[in-house]
Structures are given as structure tokens and as C-alpha cells.
């Protein structure tokens, strides 16, 4: 019925829409004056003034100074109140859990890393998650109850039909069918879960190389080889959450791997994963292959190879590019994406040199010709994606002034 509270077109809903538009502008641009907000939203000065007074009263914006140094009288500036809400993200691997807390503006205010080595966890997963979260919360000077939402990124994916983690047999302690219920009972805030590579794609879509793109593939190569598929602006996860587990993909040039979930590997992983790079370097006669974790070794070798124009290092990069393009050809043949983002240290360390080689190889192996770019989000991209997802939902909840 016209005039009912909360129905479209009523003053309450219009006010809420204007409030959200102003808050989003403040997040995007930083401190703004009343006049500037009015111009960007199309609101009159009196309406913009009422809006800011309403948001300030609700604790969502703060007066943060004046526009000194500009012609004319100084204007009061406003910004989003960072303390309006907090959200957390976790990045889980077999050897550590990295946690962070961000304020509602997206600024990270606390971080913590909890080592979790060994095939048999010293403590249950629920305790590990709680300890990692508490470490980040303490570093932020907050308490658990201050965090409104947490997103946890893991290899593999939790099957929405069974609640069990799939495609990640190398993650000890995370495969109990009751784990999600136990975590929900132990933590005082809503908990969400997402595949780690999907979170990297979210970070690139919000902050990096995929901004403004609704159809793209992100190829990730670090601890494992995987992909994220964004179609029509949304992540495609598949029926069991396994969309993008391309490490299991059979490819030419690699032995046919059977029982892939037990092996936790497949043809594309064996052909082009990080662990294949040191092996390939030795086959090509490169003597000074560094020691250390294969992810670090692969990134170092690829970075070195990108600096060489000839010799075995350049052959390493060319062969590696062909291997990467071999698996990518199957992806782009099926999906025909607008863009392919290369991410993970075994890809980004090759920079533009590796990107150009993969692009050239892909154009010979596949009919679609998407543009390849190197990912921009380099520092803890899984964690950044987890925070971005947690913040998006938190902002929707906190910024809804129609309630």
C-alpha cells in the first residue's frame, strides 16, 4: 500500500538509498564536504546537510577537519567512522593460519600468523581458528565481540550438500563432517567459508586487475594450481564447490593421473604447478637451483628467467609458458572469458615477460583470445579477498539506515 513504511518510493526508503550512496562515496573518495557530497549525489544542500546530520547521529560518519588551502571559506569535511564496525578474514594453509581484522573503511587494524605445521595438528582446528582470530583481534586492540563477521579461506571447498571439505586432502584436521557446526558454536559472529583462489579473484575484482570486469578467469599458481571463474559478475562455484579445481585437469604432456582426489594432484598440476618448475630447471641444466620450499624456489627461478634473453633460463620460461597455456586453452575454449588474470607468486614473479609468452602461446592453442594481465593484489591476496567479502556483507548490514 502506498505510504507503508519501508516500501519502495517512501521517504524512509529514499533516505536510506541516499544515505548508502553518500557512505559509498565517502569510502571511495575519502573525506568530502557537504557541498561535494551534494554534487556527487545530486542532492540539494539542505538535504545533504540533513543526511550528514543523520549519519553523524547514527555514528556512521565523523567530522574530520576542514578543506584548508582551497579558495574560499574552509568547508567541514566528513568521512566514514572507522569504528562503526569491524570484520575479520582468515587465510588457511597446511602450515599456518594468517588472520586479520579490518575496520569498516577496509583498513587493516590487526594481523596475526599462527604456525600449524605437521600432518597431525597439535590442537583441534576450532582452537586454531580461535587462537588466530584472537591474535589479530588483540593486535587491533579489540575484543572478539567487536568483530561482526568472519570469512575463512581454505584450499578446496566445503561441499554445500554435505558440509565436508573437498579437494584439499593436504589440509589436516579440516575434514570432520561436524567442523562447520563446531566453528559456528565456538565463534560469536557469523562465519562464512570460501575457496582461497575464489577470494583472490574477489580481491582482484574489487581492488586490482579485474576491476570493472564481469567475466574473467583467474589462474593461481602458488602452493597449488587452481582457477576462479567469474561469470556475469558472480563467482561460479559448481555443484560441489569444485569449479576451478583445474590442477586435476588431464592435459597433454603429463601422465594421466587416476584417483586424483587421493593423489591430491592431476595432470595440469604435475605439468605446470610450482613443484614442476625446479624439476624443469634441473632438466634444462640449470645448476644453481636454490634450496627451500618449492613455492619460493619456483618464484625465484621464474623471476631469474624473466631477466634472461637467452640460454637455459629463457628456455625455462618458454617451456613453462607453453605448459601454462596448455591448461588455459581448455579453460578459455569452454568459458570464452573476457580476461585472464595471472596470480600467485609462480606467475606474478615472471611479470610482463611471462605474461606475454603465455599470451602468445594461448593464441596458438585456443580459438578465443582473451586478454591476459598480471594480478595487482600481491600482498596476502587470499586474506585481502576474505576481508573484502566480510566487509561487503558487514557494510550492507551497518549502512542500512532504513531499519
What's the CATH code of the domain at 238?
Answer: 3.30.420.40
Q: What is the pLDDT of residues 305-364, one digit of tens each?
A: 999 989 999 999 999 999 999 999 999 999 999 999 999 999 999 999 999 999 999 999
Residues 69 and 90 reside in one and the same domain = no
Residue 53 sits in a domain of what CATH number?
1.10.10.10
Q: Is 206 contained in some domain? A: no
Among 7-21, 58-72, 138-152, 186-200, the range scoring the smallest mean pLDDT is 58-72
Q: Is residue 26 part of a domain?
A: yes
For β-strands 165-166 and 157-158, DSSP reports them as antiparallel
Give per-residue pLDDT as tens, 394-403.
999 999 877 7
Q: Considering the chain, what is the average pLDDT of its residues?
A: 92
Arithmetic mean of pLDDT, 368-374: 96
The pLDDT value recorded for residue 324 is 98
Residue 6 has pLDDT above 60, yes or no: no
Query: Shortest CA distance to 151 belongs to which of 199, 202, 192?
Result: 192
> Which helix (H) or strand (E) is 379 found in, with range?
none
What is the arithmetic mean of pLDDT over 219-226? 95
Domain-terminating residue out of 35, 50, 80: 80
pLDDT digits (tens, 9 = 90+) for 81-127: 999 999 999 999 999 999 999 999 999 999 999 999 877 766 799 99
Q: Say yes or no: 114 and 38 in one domain.
A: no
User: Is 253's pLDDT higher than 70?
Assistant: yes
Is there a single domain that holds both residue 254 and residue 358? yes
Q: Is the CA virtual torsion 275, 281, 283, 289 positive or negative?
A: negative
> Rounded CA gap, 115 and 260, in Å?
28
* Cβ–Cβ < 8 Å for 345, 200: no
* 170 shares a domain with 25: no
Query: pLDDT grade, residue 72 (50/70/90)?
Result: low
Grid cell listed for 345: 607468486
Q: Please name which of 366, 346, 17, 390 lies closest in space to residue 206, comparing C-alpha atoms.
A: 390
Band of residue 297 on the pLDDT scale cut at 50, 70, 90: very high
Angle CA(53)–CA(58)–CA(59) in degrees, nearest 5?
A: 100
Three cell numbers at 169?
Answer: 586432502
User: Is residue 54's pLDDT more than 70?
Assistant: yes
Is the whole model's pTM more than 0.85, yes or no?
A: yes
pLDDT tens-digit profile of 201-221?
A: 999 999 999 999 999 999 999
Query: Are 246 and 336 members of one domain?
Result: yes
Specify whether 102 is located in the same domain as 182: yes
Residue 205 lies in a domain: no
Does 187 share its domain with 216?
no
Residues 6+ apart with CB under 8 A from 104: 80, 81, 82, 83, 84, 85, 86, 87, 391, 394, 395, 398
- Measured CA to CA, the distance from residue 191 to residue 158 in angstroms comes to 13
Compute the average pLDDT of residues 132-140. Answer: 98
CA dihedral 23, 86, 129, 195 (to 10 degrees): 0
**3-state DSSP call for residue 60?**
coil
261 near 239, Cβ under 8 Å?
no
Is 403 part of a structural domain of the chain?
A: no
Q: What is the pLDDT of residue 264?
A: 83
Give residue 68's pLDDT.
60
Alpha-carbon distance of 169 to 8, in angstroms, equals: 49
| Same domain membership, residue 71 and residue 45 | yes
73 falls in which pLDDT band (50, 70, 90)?
low
Q: Which DSSP helix (H) or strand (E) runs through 189?
A: none
pLDDT at 2 over 60: no
The pLDDT confidence band at residue 69, using thresholds 50, 70 and 90, is low
Q: Are residues 66 and 162 in the same domain?
A: no
Residue 27 lies in a domain: yes
Cell numbers linked to 336: 570464452
Residues 6+ apart with CB under 8 A from 88: 99, 100, 101, 102, 133, 136, 137, 147, 149, 150, 151, 189, 387, 390
260 with 153, same domain: the answer is no
Q: How far apart are CA 156 and CA 167, in angstroms?
A: 5
pLDDT of residue 1: 38
Q: Are residue 16 and residue 68 in the same domain, yes or no?
A: yes
Looking at 80, 102, 121, the residue that finishes a domain is 80
Write out the residue range of the structural domain in which residue 287 sits: 211-376
321/192 same-domain check:
no
pLDDT score at 372: 98
What total number of domains does the chain contain? 3
Distance, in Å, from the CA atom of 98 to the CA atom of 176, rounded to the nearest integer, reads: 21
H/E stretch holding 62 reads strand 61-66
Domain boundary, last residue among 22, 49, 80: 80
Amino acid at each position: 500500500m502506498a505510504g507503508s513504511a519501508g516500501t519502495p518510493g517512501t521517504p524512509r526508503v529514499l533516505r536510506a538509498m541516499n544515505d548508502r550512496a553518500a557512505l559509498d562515496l565517502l569510502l571511495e573518495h575519502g573525506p568530502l564536504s557537504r557541498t561535494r557530497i551534494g554534487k556527487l549525489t545530486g542532492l540539494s544542500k539542505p538535504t545533504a546537510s540533513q543526511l550528514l546530520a543523520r549519519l553523524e547521529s547514527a555514528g556512521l560518519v565523523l567530522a574530520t577537519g576542514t578543506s584548508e588551502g582551497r579558495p574560499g571559506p574552509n568547508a567541514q569535511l566528513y568521512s566514514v567512522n572507522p569504528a562503526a564496525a569491524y570484520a575479520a578474514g582468515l587465510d588457511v594453509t597446511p602450515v599456518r593460519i594468517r588472520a586479520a581484522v579490518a575496520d569498516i573503511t577496509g583498513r587493516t587494524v590487526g594481523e596475526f600468523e599462527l604456525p600449524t605445521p605437521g600432518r597431525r595438528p597439535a590442537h583441534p582446528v576450532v582452537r586454531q581458528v580461535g587462537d588466530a582470530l584472537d591474535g589479530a583481534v588483540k593486535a587491533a586492540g579489540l575484543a572478539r565481540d567487536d568483530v561482526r563477521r568472519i570469512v575463512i579461506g581454505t584450499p578446496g571447498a566445503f561441499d554445500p550438500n554435505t558440509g565436508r571439505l573437498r579437494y584439499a586432502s593436504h589440509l589436516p584436521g579440516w575434514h570432520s563432517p561436524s567442523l562447520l557446526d563446531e566453528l559456528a558454536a565456538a565463534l560469536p559472529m557469523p562465519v562464512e567459508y570460501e575457496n582461497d583462489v575464489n577470494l583472490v579473484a574477489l580481491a582482484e575484482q574489487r581492488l586490482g586487475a579485474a576491476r570493472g570486469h564481469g567475466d574473467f578467469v583467474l589462474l593461481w599458481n602458488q602452493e597449488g594450481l587452481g582457477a576462479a571463474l567469474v561469470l556475469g559478475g558472480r563467482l561460479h562455484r559448481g555443484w560441489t564447490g569444485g569449479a576451478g579445481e583445474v590442477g586435476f585437469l588431464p592435459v597433454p604432456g603429463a601422465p594421466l593421473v587416476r584417483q586424483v582426489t587421493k593423489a591430491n594432484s592431476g595432470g595440469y598440476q604435475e605439468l605446470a604447478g610450482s613443484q614442476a618448475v625446479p624439476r624443469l630447471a634441473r632438466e634444462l641444466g640449470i645448476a644453481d637451483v636454490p634450496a627451500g620450499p618449492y613455492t619460493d624456489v619456483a618464484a625465484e627461478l621464474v623471476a631469474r628467467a624473466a631477466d634472461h634473453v637467452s640460454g637455459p633460463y629463457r628456455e625455462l620460461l618458454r617451456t613453462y609458458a607453453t605448459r601454462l597455456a596448455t591448461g588455459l586453452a581448455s579453460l578459455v575454449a569452454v568459458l570464452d572469458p573476457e580476461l585472464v588474470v595471472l596470480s600467485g607468486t609462480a606467475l606474478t614473479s615472471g611479470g610482463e615477460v611471462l605474461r606475454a609468452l603465455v599470451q602468445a602461446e594461448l593464441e596458438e592453442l585456443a580459438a578465443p583470445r582473451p586478454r591476459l594481465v598480471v594480478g595487482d593484489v600481491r600482498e596476502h591476496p587470499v586474506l585481502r579477498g576474505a576481508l573484502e567479502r566480510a566487509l561487503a556483507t558487514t557494510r550492507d548490514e551497518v549502512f542500512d539506515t532504513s531499519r
